[in-house]
A and B are shown apart, each in its own frame.
Chain A
């Protein structure tokens, strides 16, 4: 971190990193070295490489990937269309607004909506599809997670699209590019930074989702977040919980490095 010269103004941020990031991380690493009896050991790390945790990790990744993918697929067109509306700033605020209502309440509402006698199943009945089990499936889990994360994806993409110089699109069209080519060669590359920050804002927290796994997926989906929750709050095995957290942080760092290094290639626009 080569902060050059007179950069006093950077101090609050570095102070935050030192106090609220590095200190807790050190604390977590420290805890991960102790077993249940308070003995110094590396056993927790050995434990992590057992099939149970490996499966949990794969699960977490798979679902985080699905959630990010679907969020992107839904959010991109939505953000694009929002930039075309008349009162776009107002509409954007209205996209964020639902996130200010308590999550537990919204989740309870989803349990009602997706339930056997809920409106969705009533609708299915009307269509003659009959009752479907929607709750406690991978589908409902991904759906509700996407619901939670969608504003986090729309917002950065919207900003990027909104900043985009429309004359570039017009120019491309004038030069005879088809709609699809324009999108692929001009629009998307120009908004890639927004997409990237959206994906970051979704994928990273999606790795450690926990409450939804129980409420919506009925513990049919078990992620690393669930395991940490369990260790900290039920078993009170802070050592193992911290170990899982250490891996989670390491994986995130790896993810950052991988996506960070590909930056150069894409930044053509």
Chain B
């Protein structure tokens, strides 16, 4: 009994000691002061030096919080109970947030640097007129492949994936929109197709791909492909650039039938406490030198035109990540299909997953 009580007390003392330490550290960092800005972003999706720089320039202390999926972030913002000043959702999530009135309109007069964003990245279907969002990074969905392992197969078409020589050699990313979109594209349909016949056709075609699919995975796809666990992967361009950083044998291509173009964007969610600071932060991130530095750190494609000019030629001139007009014309943003259609896409994707053994 005595031992139990002693242990219990020891634990409490240690815990409270640590709590004290944490609060000291917190106040030393200025986190408990008044002038703070809470940013809600994907983990490690910003150069931490820029946060420090912003802090020094404006005197606003940044609290950086992270999420791992748009949907999880949505639930948090929807439920409230905690304050976020700037959030970085993807395009389709913005459409949803707009619909559910979770966003505050941006004051463009406070964002003079918005002019730096290339015109083709403005005024897109998920946010006409950029009333609520400012593009942060963008990219495509495409095929990453290892020429050493693919015996000269040409991947300029989605249909090349069905090649018999790729048996058990493809990783798919675990996303219904991406995989269904790929199948629809391979049949020359739109990634936003709602026609039931086309969708069933896509499922049938996907089922034929099963023998070639080694696994359907999430973020670990980068590690797997860099380790050469399989020859081919369907990935987002951002992931592709990271994989190629780790393993330069691999190459990335956006197939000619077309594909998806995606955006991560900065928004101010409902309930933001420091709206003034949020505008300052967004404007700061749009500055060419800042955007360029961030692009080098993150490795995704930047929509910031003057920033791109500041970047070395091997980044800005890379057509795989900054494709020429001929290809970008065939890229489509994911429309908000509505809950029903989205559920249907997911159902078909689930059937495909269950089909493969």
Which B320-350 residues sit within 8 Å CB-CB of chain A?
339-340, 342-343, 346, 350
Q: Which has the most chain B C-beta neighbours within 10 Å: A227, A232, A233?
A: A233
A11 sits at the interface (CB 8 A): no
Which B246-285 residues sit within 8 Å CB-CB of chain A?
none
Knowing A36-B340, A36-B343, A220-B356, the reply to whether A116 touches B71 (Cβ < 8 A) is no
Q: How far is the CB of A17 from chain B (nearest CB, A)?
A: 23
- Looking across the interface, which residue of chain B has its beta carbon closest to that of A56? B354
Number of interface residues of B (CB under 8 A): 30
A115–B217 CA distance with the chains assembled, in angstroms: 14
Knowing A115-B229, A116-B228, A135-B229, the reply to whether A230 touches B346 (Cβ < 8 A) is yes
B350 and A52 within 8 A (CB) = yes
B71 and A219 within 8 A (CB) = no
A219 and B216 within 8 A (CB) = yes
B72 and A233 within 8 A (CB) = yes
The answer, among A36, A115, A135, A219, for a CB contact under 8 Å with B174, is: A219
B176 sits at the interface (CB 8 A): yes
Q: Which one of B123-131, B219-227, B232-240, B307-315 is at the interface?
A: B219-227
Knowing A36-B340, A214-B174, A218-B216, the reply to whether A234 touches B346 (Cβ < 8 A) is yes
Knowing A111-B223, A219-B216, the reply to whether A233 touches B343 (Cβ < 8 A) is no
A contact residues around B223 at 8 Å (CB): 108, 111-112
B contact residues around A52 at 8 Å (CB): 350-351, 354
A contact residues around B346 at 8 Å (CB): 230, 234-235
A263 sits at the interface (CB 8 A): no
**B65-105 interface mask toward A, CB cutoff 8 Å, 1 = contact, 0 = none?**
00001011010000000000000000000000000000000
B71 and A236 within 8 A (CB) = yes
A132–B269 CA distance with the chains assembled, in angstroms: 50
A218 and B69 within 8 A (CB) = no
B354 and A55 within 8 A (CB) = yes
A136–B214 CA distance with the chains assembled, in angstroms: 8
A233–B218 CA distance with the chains assembled, in angstroms: 14
A contact residues around B229 at 8 Å (CB): 115-116, 135
Knowing A52-B351, A111-B220, the reply to whether A234 touches B71 (Cβ < 8 A) is yes
Q: How far is the CB of B18 from chain A (nearest CB, A)?
A: 16
**A209-244 interface mask toward B, CB cutoff 8 Å, 1 = contact, 0 = none?**
000001101111010000100101111110000000
A214 and B217 within 8 A (CB) = yes
B151 sits at the interface (CB 8 A): no
- Looking across the interface, which residue of chain B has its beta carbon closest to that of A51? B354
Tally the A-B contacts, defined by beta carbons under 8 Å. 73
Q: How far is the CB of B72 from chain A (nearest CB, A)?
A: 6
A236–B343 CA distance with the chains assembled, in angstroms: 8
Knowing A135-B215, A218-B217, the reply to whether A111 touches B224 (Cβ < 8 A) is yes
B357 sits at the interface (CB 8 A): yes
A222 and B353 within 8 A (CB) = yes
A contact residues around B174 at 8 Å (CB): 214, 219
B215 and A136 within 8 A (CB) = yes
B contact residues around A230 at 8 Å (CB): 346, 350
Q: List 30 A-B contacts (CB under 8 A).
A: A36-B339, A52-B351, A108-B220, A111-B220, A112-B223, A112-B227, A115-B227, A116-B227, A117-B228, A135-B215, A135-B229, A136-B214, A214-B217, A214-B218, A217-B215, A219-B174, A219-B216, A219-B217, A220-B215, A222-B350, A222-B353, A222-B354, A230-B350, A233-B69, A234-B346, A235-B342, A235-B343, A235-B346, A236-B339, A237-B343
Residues of chain B having any CB pair with chain A under 8 Å: 69, 71-72, 74, 168, 171, 174, 176, 214-218, 220, 223-224, 227-229, 339-340, 342-343, 346, 350-351, 353-354, 356-357
Q: Which 6 A-B pairs have the closest CB atoms?
A: A218-B215, A219-B216, A136-B215, A233-B71, A235-B346, A36-B339
17 new A-B contacts, CB < 8 A, other than A111-B224, A215-B218, are: A37-B340, A52-B354, A111-B223, A112-B223, A115-B227, A116-B227, A135-B215, A214-B216, A218-B171, A218-B214, A218-B216, A219-B353, A222-B350, A222-B354, A232-B71, A234-B71, A237-B339
